[in-house]
Amino acid sequence: MKFSYTLLKQFVPKLVGKAQTMDLLSTYSFEAEEAQGNTIEIKIPANRYSDASSHVGIARELSAALDVPLVLRNFKNLPFIEQKAKVAKSPKKYSVSVQDEKLCPRYSAQYFEHVKIGPSPKWLQSALTECGLRPINNVVDIMNYVMIETGQPLHAFDYDKLAGKGKPEIIVRRAKKGERITSIDGVKYPLGAEMLVIADPEKPLAIAGIKGGTGCEVTEMTTRILVEAANFDGVSIMKTSRKLGLTTDASQRFSHDISSSLAEAGLNRAAQALQSLAGALPGERYDSLAKPNPKKVLAFDIAACNKLLGASFSNAEAAGYLRRLGFKNVKKNLWEIPSERTDIETNEDLSEEVIRIYGIGKLKASAPHVPLMAPVANDLVTTKTLARNMLRGFGIDEVYNHTFISKDDIARGELWKGKAIALENPVSSEYEYLRQALAYSVAKNIDENFKYYDTVRIFEIGNTFLNDGKHTHERTHLCVALGAKNSETFFELKGIVIRMLEGLGVMDVTMKELPQNESSFFMESSLEVKSGNTLLGYLGFSRGSVSIAELDLEAIIKNAEGEREYEPLQKYPEVMRDISMFISLDTRIGDVMEAVQGENVKLITDVDLVDEYVDEAFSDKQSITLRVVFQAKDRTLTSDEIDREMKRIREMLASQFNAQTR
Amino acid sequence: MDITNLRARAIKEIESATDAKACEAARVRYLGRKEGELTEVLRGLSNMSIEEKRRIGTEANELKQELEALIEKKLGELSAGGAKRAHIDVTRPGKKVALGHEHPLTKIDAQVREIFSSMNFTVVEGPELEEEHYNFDALNIPADHPARDMWDTFWVKNEVSKKKMLMRTHTSPMQARYMEAHEAPFQIIVPGRTFRYEATDASHEINFYQVEGLVVGPDITLANFKYIIETFFKKFFGKDLEFRYRPSYFPFVEPGVELDIRLPGGKWLEVMGAGMVHRNVFDAVKYDYRKVQGFAFGMGLDRLAMIKYGIPDIRLFYSGDVRFTKQF
């Protein structure tokens, strides 16, 4: 919000410049930023609009920071004169009826006549300009000026343009269905039944608390006016303002639920200014609030304040800071809170006032006294670190991608079963869905990085989301991709996945080839990685030279074994036998190896592929050599025994795989 | 089987080898896995009587060790003595061995975790797809509260339940989640990805990282916050760091503060919002605010990384560009 340094300086003559003012505000009150000329941009916190969206409010903050009294009387241009207008229950010149007291807790108005329209004085015009407002004429300018000075938005109606039976009637009501209003600046707004309007019996006059309409605005011809100083429900104003896409200086203030006491202060100030600057004669005032709001009195607990802050303020010292901000000590520890300070409700609120005026920077830092308890390790946190370290060791670089992906990305195919979750308000179609898998972006990364490298090895760890029809799932995944322009990468990736799973404690891993599927993310072949019955993830080609694996880290953690136990070292020798054979090109080597291993789970400790050869001369056959390792835990195996095993294997291979062993 | 004869032939052949190749040939002939002469002897042991096994087995195994040692020695001599033939120029560049690179945010995250862990903090994480309740209501930001405007939110279409879901706008929801499930006292940090609906530029991204901190106990004070956080930043950036505290407003704390730091010779940088946990937040998780108090803080990891590494544009973090990662 824009503030005029010139005006602030008039309220707080001790100020010595914009820089000092901004510094004081930043240190003790609110963030302030440099703006052009005599303007200062101040960020008013959402809970401080009531007291601080005004020059008087900011001046109070500055005077508290400087420890000088705020004396409004001294304001030279438009001295503050205490004046109490008599409030008429039913004014003779006009009537007001508030039909929705929830949305309009207070409506006050005052009639003025003999108004002489003309330009407002230079100082007032420049104050407005410095706050980003355009001077128009003295009456409109006074309305705006009183708003920036006191924080209360006001509105002036041309009395002679208001309709009513016998006398103008002001009605505060909800808009009718289909009702429209044209604002002062000529824009037509369709209104809804949840919106509040100020109306006369014939037409809506203004969108309450937001903007005035045409037909009753003050013009050069105006001589009699009705000034409105009201208070509106913040939520309602905020919703209307959002719905209409119309934010004004008034709507900003009302949206933040400003104190209804401001209405009286604002109307008083406007009455004074209209008399001084427009020669107006004040008439009857109306106020829908019969009784003034009760004063807010809070007990201040200095011990609790010190305990919260870790400070040791004396009662007198703390009281001093509260007084500087205009809080009144009623008796003992009871404090009357200025009515516009709607943010002050608890002892913590009061403690904040004390510490910020003292200076948070001056509070002495001290070490906490806490019982020493070992931090609890979180499995997911540790697993991510472990996986990262392993992947780095395999020479793979880490990337981060956006959580959001596009419809086109999803169209590349499915990995985990489920529906992608969409954003209600995406920033663009590029980022419309929550990623179901990391592979979509990682695959793109490989392509993009091929511009600079022939080989790209990357991984990402991140959260993925999908909807399985019943529930929404958020899972942490790990995606590894290897791409080489000129060579195959799949088997290295397969090896990495196995080693990594082993490193993460998953020993029992099976990989099953998946049937080719149009809707699958993997264009060519792919494997399903499982441990027991748990799906850990997928591994496959995205295209010829790019292989991608994506694993569910949370599934991995569930299937990881704990600490290992010692097994006696093997005492008896290993015996290795190689077996070469021709098998059909369609036969899966993985299946053959698994079958060999399965022949004797006890004695065969490993089966490895040591040679493979494909030649046109073999027509539809391939030649492979497997190495079978035998070892017993309790004895040295004899040649006979192994020969018998090998014979069984050969027979099995011949019958199951139609293999010709050599 | 004449081990003695075998020994003589093998030793002679190894001794007479003039280069590594000949030496290797001798190794294959006698010790080769497939048909090495000595290997065959050892393989044949299983068919021998216990008596033979003991005698020949011992001899053969001793010979195996002897030959292995001899070959190794010979190879050593050949490469050292034969310097003229097989000269190794040790000044040549080493082989390029690949080690992957961590993303800079992973590095910064690890540093932050380590410093806080060393101060007895537990690291916890929470969901990125969050309920409106935890992101806002439980943090004293009710619906229609103007303070909600402080967080531009990505709302998520929820097709499975009536709950309003969103991408968390800060890591603060874990304050409520953690307190619901744990008793005070505790000290936690919550690093994680957060989201804001906004236009991207060099200093704004639609997703970024935050670290939340929460310390609650019977007498945790604002002065304690200053101690913990100054200790953290000095460990992170070095001890010649200056601090500036300003009042601030976040609905879930009271008092609220903002912290700026200044590196030697640098400008003031906003790095953190913090404050004492608001009693309404304690109320929402059924803690008694008369019995416990504590502080919470939140800072942007991307910003810390940008300051520490001099990275000018936040978008680089999410570019997937390996040239970027390889620098760290």
Residues of A in contact with B101 (CB under 8 A): 392, 397-398
Sequence letter at residue A196: L
Average pLDDT over residues A199-226: 94
CB A308 to CB B247 under 8 A?
A: no
d(CA A437, CA A415): 7
**B151 part of the active site:** yes
Among B96, B128, B269, pick the best mutation site for testing chain A contact (most A Cβ within 10 A). B128
Average pLDDT over residues A461-467: 96
Among B33, B39, B43, B46, pick the best mutation site for testing chain A contact (most A Cβ within 10 A). B46
Sequence letter at residue A324: R
Residue carrying structure tokens 């086109």: A408
Residue B271 zone, left/alpha/beta (φ > 0; ψ -120 to 50; rest): alpha
- Range of lowest pLDDT (A337-346, A377-386, A621-630, B33-42): B33-42
Q: SS3 sequence, A243-307? A: HHCCCCHHHHHHHCCCCCHHHHHHHHHHHHHHHHHHCCEEEEEEECCCCCCCCEEEECCHHHHHH
Burial per residue of A622-646, b for 16 or more beta-carbon CB atoms within 10 angstroms, e otherwise: bbbebebebbbeeeebeeebbeebb
Q: How far, rounded to the nearest angstrom, does the alpha carbon of residue A30 sit from its chain's CA centroid?
A: 22
Residue B212: both structure tokens together = 């939340």
pLDDT the model gives residue B85: 54
Residues of B in contact with A352 (CB under 8 A): 247, 254-256
B134, B133, B224, B122: which is closest to B171 by C-alpha? B134
**Helix axis angle, B104-118 to B301-309, nearest 10°:** 110
Bridge partners (DSSP) of residue A171 are A97, A199
pLDDT the model gives residue B82: 52
Using CB atoms, pick whichever of B249, B318, B325 lies closest to residue A46.
B249
**Could you tell me if A45 lies within 8 Å of chain B, comparing CB atoms?**
yes
**B8 part of the active site:** no
Bridge partners (DSSP) of residue B247 are B257
CB B100 to CB A346 under 8 A?
A: no
How many CB atoms lie under 10 A from the CB of residue B319?
Answer: 17
Q: Could you please report the per-residue DSSP string of A334-403?
A: EEEEPTT-TT--SHHHHHHHHHHHH-GGGSPP--------PPPPPHHHHHHHHHHHHHHHTT-EE----S
d(CA A29, CA A42): 10
d(CA A118, CA A223): 11
**B196 part of the active site:** yes
Average pLDDT over residues A7-13: 92
**B268 part of the active site:** no
User: How buried is residue A341: exposed, middle or buried, by Cβ count under 10 Å (0-12/13-18/19+)?
Assistant: buried
d(CA B146, CA A240): 13
Residue A597: both structure tokens together = 């291993």
- Range of lowest pLDDT (A7-21, A346-360, A468-482, B51-65): B51-65
Residues of A in contact with B105 (CB under 8 A): 400
Backbone angles phi, psi at A644, to 5 degrees: -60, -45
CB A576 to CB B33 under 8 A?
A: yes
Give kind and range of the element (H or E) at residue A104.
none
**Helix axis angle, A18-28 to A55-66, nearest 10°:** 80
Rg (CA), chain A: 40
The SS3 assignment for B167 reads strand
CA distances from A222 to A91, A115, A153, A457, A502 (A): 21, 7, 21, 77, 87
Secondary structure letter of residue B16 according to DSSP: T
Chain A residues 366-385 with a CB less than 8 Å from chain B: 366-373, 375-376, 378, 380-381, 385
**B327 part of the active site:** no
Q: What is the pLDDT of residues A565-596, one digit of tens each?
A: 788 888 888 999 999 999 998 898 989 999 99
Give kind and range of the element (H or E) at residue A62.
helix A55-66
d(CA B51, CA A357): 99
**Could you tell me if B107 lies within 8 Å of chain A, comparing CB atoms?**
no
CA distances from A556 to A501, A528, A535, A536, A553 (A): 8, 14, 9, 6, 5
Secondary structure letter of residue B147 according to DSSP: G
Secondary structure letter of residue B95 according to DSSP: P
Average pLDDT over residues A246-270: 95
Residue A601: both structure tokens together = 């789970």
d(CA A27, CA A13): 19
**Helix axis angle, B3-15 to B50-81, nearest 10°:** 10
Q: Name the active-site residue from B151, B177, B292, B293.
A: B151
Using CB atoms, pick whichever of A255, A444, A471 lies closest to residue B146.
A255
Chain B residues 2-31 with a CB less than 8 Å from chain A: none
Which residues, including other chains, have CB under 8 Å from residue A261's CB and lie 6 or more apart? A292, A293, A339, A340
Q: Name the active-site residue from B26, B190, B292, B296.
A: B296
pLDDT the model gives residue A543: 66
How far does B23 lie from chain A, in Å, by closest CA? Answer: 25
Give kind and range of the element (H or E) at residue A199.
strand A196-199
d(CA A516, CA B282): 54
pLDDT the model gives residue B92: 85
pLDDT the model gives residue B12: 86
Cβ contact A344:A298 at 8 Å: yes
B118, B207, B322, B198: which is closest to A397 by C-alpha? B322
d(CA B96, CA B83): 25
Residue A43: both structure tokens together = 């960020």
**B303 part of the active site:** no
**Helix axis angle, A347-358 to A302-309, nearest 10°:** 60
Tally: H helices and E strands in chain A: 19, 30
Using CB atoms, pick whichever of A360, A419, A637 lies closest to residue B247.
A360
Confidence check on the interface: ipTM exceeds 0.90, yes or no: no
Cβ contact A130:A4 at 8 Å: yes
Rg (CA), chain B: 34
Residue A657 zone, left/alpha/beta (φ > 0; ψ -120 to 50; rest): alpha
Among B158, B234, B245, B269, pick the best mutation site for testing chain A contact (most A Cβ within 10 A). B245
Q: What is the pLDDT of residues A348-403, one digit of tens each?
A: 999 999 999 999 999 999 999 988 888 888 889 999 999 999 999 999 999 999 99
Q: Which residue has the higher pLDDT, A281 or B39?
A: A281
Residues of B in contact with A629 (CB under 8 A): none
Q: What is the pLDDT of residues A256-266, one digit of tens each?
A: 999 999 999 99
**pTM greater than the 0.90 cutoff:** no
A380, A404, A376: which is closest to A478 by C-alpha? A380
How many CB atoms lie under 10 A from the CB of residue B112?
Answer: 23
Residue B201 zone, left/alpha/beta (φ > 0; ψ -120 to 50; rest): beta
- Range of lowest pLDDT (A360-374, A523-537, A606-620, B82-96): B82-96
In A450-552, where do the E strands start and end? 455-467, 472-484, 510-513, 526-531, 534-543, 546-552
Among B198, B249, B272, pick the best mutation site for testing chain A contact (most A Cβ within 10 A). B249
CB A364 to CB B223 under 8 A?
A: yes
Residues of A in contact with B123 (CB under 8 A): 375, 378, 381
For the beta sheet containing A621-630, the strands, ordered from the edge strand earlier in sequence to the opposite edge, are A604-613, A621-630, A575-584, A660-661
| Most confident region among A497-511, A518-532, B76-90 by mean pLDDT | A497-511
CB B100 to CB A398 under 8 A?
A: yes
How far does B212 lie from chain A, in Å, by closest CA? Answer: 15
Cβ contact A661:A581 at 8 Å: yes
Number of alpha carbons in the 13 Å side-chain half-sphere of residue A632? 9
pLDDT the model gives residue B32: 83
Q: How far apart are the first and last CA of chain B?
A: 63
d(CA A556, CA A535): 9
Residue B36: both structure tokens together = 């090495």
Mean per-residue pLDDT pooled into runs of 10, chain B (328 residues): 81 84 85 82 78 80 86 80 64 86 96 95 95 95 84 90 93 96 95 94 94 96 97 94 95 96 93 96 96 96 95 95 93
Tally: H helices and E strands in chain B: 11, 10
**Banded pLDDT at A434 (limits 50, 70, 90):** very high
pLDDT the model gives residue A563: 73
CB B320 to CB A458 under 8 A?
A: yes
Q: Could you please report the per-residue DSSP string of B150-161?
A: GS---EE--SS-
Number of alpha carbons in the 13 Å side-chain half-sphere of residue B22? 13
A48, A46, A3: which is closest to A22 by C-alpha? A3
Which residues, including other chains, have CB under 8 Å from residue B51's CB and lie 6 or more apart? none
**Could you tell me if B211 lies within 8 Å of chain A, comparing CB atoms?**
no
